[in-house]
């Protein structure tokens, strides 16, 4: 691997071919064995040799500041990313030019899977807060998957999860009431954070009410009204972006 402080690193194939401010590299190499999200990003049952081969595949770790894009719609697909810290939103540009948020990605989750089918990204990926990404060249990952079967199955699970997420959003937008949509969103965030070892009942929402509304197909005022209603019913406690779930069973379910 070329050291990050050498000029040649700027032309590395790991750097997205995008005309925007570059992602800032972190000092030092990636050490998956010391990473808190290792059990999420890496498959179980790897031999020591396979683990080292996968670790060597991750070309670098990069910082992305709040509001910056990792990639934009129609950018060539080169890498997938895993979120080491922080969170992101993916945004699709509709035919009329409006933006539609298609997902929120949290710590340990992959980013960039949308480009696999077409070799071009079909959405923008924007940091919701100062974040850190591990960059994985997909062509090399694909080749490694033929040799390391646990990693192949892991990537397949990523793809299946992406399909399930898209299917779930269609159901959410198509058949749920406003209170069910907001409740399902909170419960989904709760479950994902719990799976990563964080509190499932107290967390900060890094996205704005307007962004939540875009994702849920609701107006900003409707999202705020539903949260206020849940608070009045003592189902949650809302302090700005801090959410405390007080009665998880009492929240509306589909």
Domain end point (choices 118, 152, 170): 170
What would the two tokens of residue 23 be?
């992602």
Count of beta carbons in the 10 Å neighbourhood of residue 56: 14
What residues make up the domain containing 228? 177-245
**Are both 79 and 194 inside the same structural domain?**
no
Contact 55, 32 (CB under 8 A): yes
Q: Report the candidate in 156, 159, 184 with the shortest Cα–Cα distance to residue 170.
A: 184
| Domain of residue 194, CATH code | 1.10.10.10
pLDDT computed for residue 169 by the predictor: 67
Domain end point (choices 147, 170, 193): 170
**Are both 120 and 52 inside the same structural domain?**
yes
Averages of pLDDT over runs of 10 residues in the chain (254 residues) are 33 37 44 66 75 73 93 94 93 86 91 90 96 90 83 81 72 80 93 88 95 94 96 96 95 84
Report the SS3 class of residue 127: strand
Distance CA 135, CA 141 (A): 11
**CA dist 253 to 56, 109, 176, 199, 248, Å?**
44, 25, 9, 21, 10
- How many domains are there within the chain? 2
On whether residue 2 sits in a domain, the answer given is no
pLDDT computed for residue 30 by the predictor: 52
On whether residue 254 sits in a domain, the answer given is no
- Provide CB contacts within 8 A for 140, sequence distance 6+: 57
Rounded to 5 degrees, φ, ψ at 75 are -65, 145
């Amino acid at each position: 691997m070329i050291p990050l402080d050498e000029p040649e690193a700027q032309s590395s194939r790991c750097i997205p071919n995008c005309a925007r401010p570059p992602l800032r590299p972190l000092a030092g190499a990636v050490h998956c064995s010391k990473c808190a999200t290792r059990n999420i990003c890496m498959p179980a049952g790897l031999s020591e040799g396979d683990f080292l081969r996968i670790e060597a595949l991750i070309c670098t770790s990069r910082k992305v500041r709040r509001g910056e894009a990792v990639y934009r719609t129609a950018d060539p697909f080169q890498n997938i990313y895993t979120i080491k810290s922080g969170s992101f939103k993916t945004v699709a540009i509709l035919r009329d030019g409006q933006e539609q948020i298609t997902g929120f990605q949290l710590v340990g989750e992959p980013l960039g899977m949308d480009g696999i089918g077409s070799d071009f990204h079909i959405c923008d990926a924007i940091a919701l807060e100062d974040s850190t990404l591990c960059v994985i060249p997909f062509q090399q990952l694909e080749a490694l998957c033929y040799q390391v079967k646990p990693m192949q199955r892991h990537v397949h699970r990523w793809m299946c999860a992406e399909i399930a997420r898209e299917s779930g959003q269609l159901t959410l937008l198509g058949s749920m009431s406003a209170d069910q949509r907001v409740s399902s969103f909170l419960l989904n965030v709760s479950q994902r954070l719990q799976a990563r070892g964080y509190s499932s009942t107290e967390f900060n929402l890094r996205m704005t009410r307007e962004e939540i509304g875009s994702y849920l197909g609701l107006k900003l005022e409707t999202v705020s009204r539903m949260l206020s209603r849940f608070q009045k019913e003592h189902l949650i406690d809302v302090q700005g972006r801090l959410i405390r779930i007080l009665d998880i069973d009492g929240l509306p379910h589909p």
